[in-house]
Structure 1
Amino acid sequence: MDSLLDFEECVQDSPDFRNFISPKSVSPINQVMKLCGKMVEAGQAYNVANQLFLAGLAEVSTHNEKHSVITSCLKQFNQGLQEMVSFHTVINLSPAGVRPRFLPQLAETRREFVRIGEDLETAAAKNAQVSRHKAGDAERASHLLLATRKCYQHFALDYCLQVRTRTAVSVFSFVHAQFTFFHQGFDLLRDLEPTMKTMAAQVLTPESVLPAVHFLSTLRQRNRIFFNGRVT
């Protein structure tokens, strides 16, 4: 049998189907939706932190205008990371759209399904209690039971279909958004590779490091002279 329940089980109203529609079986879906909400909130906080970081990076770039090459690299990094944040915002909207689209419709279908199930039990009880000596009443009760049972089967199929397809489609949409995010991110960072090499050539060459080393050496000598003078 399919792990998400075969449709024939719905029509037959089998014990497996009854177990599938029980509150205990539905709770994992609700749990997934709650975790989805927490993930969306965490993603929004991550995007806000990224925006603050990029704002700080833009401000740092304005203080290094003397180093035109480094400033240009920082600006390109900022633009690239801004696009990454935009990509992440899109991927964050993917799970966010699951709850408003999926939960209300599923909840409404389940309410209707439960109501029809109660009507079916009532119709079955009336059909069992009606006197067989009253042919007209017995026929009406039998027809009502058959009609209610068909309606119940229809709602059972609809409910099962929604649980199967909507859950699968939502997960597929999220995974596809992840795939798109990392694919676009890879292309974007690959485009920034020349800028990264230019930046590395500016900040990691001996010519760029030697002034700092010389400054630290001079500062160390001054401190040594200062402290030696105080000791004497």
Structure 2
Amino acid sequence: MSQLRPELLLQAYAIGVFPMAESHDDARTFFVDPEKRGVLPLNTFHVSRSLRKEVKRRRFDIRCDTNFKAVLEGCAEPRDERPDTWINDEIFKLYMSLHEMGYGHSVECWHDGKLVGGLYGVALGAAFFGESMFSREPNASKVALVHLVARLKASGFTLLDSQFITDHLAQFGAVEIPRQSYRDQLAEAIKIPAEFYSGFDDWPFVEELLQSRSQTS
């Protein structure tokens, strides 16, 4: 039985810490509070010209929260560039509970009836904590991220937490900010009521985002 409760996990998010495990097979779960925090500023989110074209092709069927478990499984599966993962059994169960409680959300890329990529995270107030993403087809996770940002902006979210900075996220404009600056932004964000948009048709939001990004790129 899990030692951590989903309610405790929500409290942890509210003060700026998040859970991890050393590996998929390690049963120990610990909380992380980085000195520098990765965030993706929603108002300066960068979409390259090539990705803009990919998104406009609408090659993927974008859905939200239709198979959260499968997205979790996709994020936890080993890949060549990442043979192990931090999602152990306890963390898996915790996020499934958060999804059932209405806090955990997935953005999914489907193609020919198959889930080929996506991401998941946690919404609390107007803060969204991005947890992990995966791709089984080129650009699937990138397209999912564009749709996520469009949904967050349309829903009134003010903070997209990426935890750490990777080369993958840096291309979208992710930045590192000091721990206290992050906590200040978080404290304000969780006070704001925002409801994550889980509807299937988010294309008007995506078009608006791409238009605004093309004017600033």
Q: TM-score range by the shorter chain?
A: under 0.3
Bigger Rg, which one: 1
Please report the TM-score for the alignment, with normalisation by the length of structure 2: 0.18
Higher strand share: 2
Higher helix share: 1
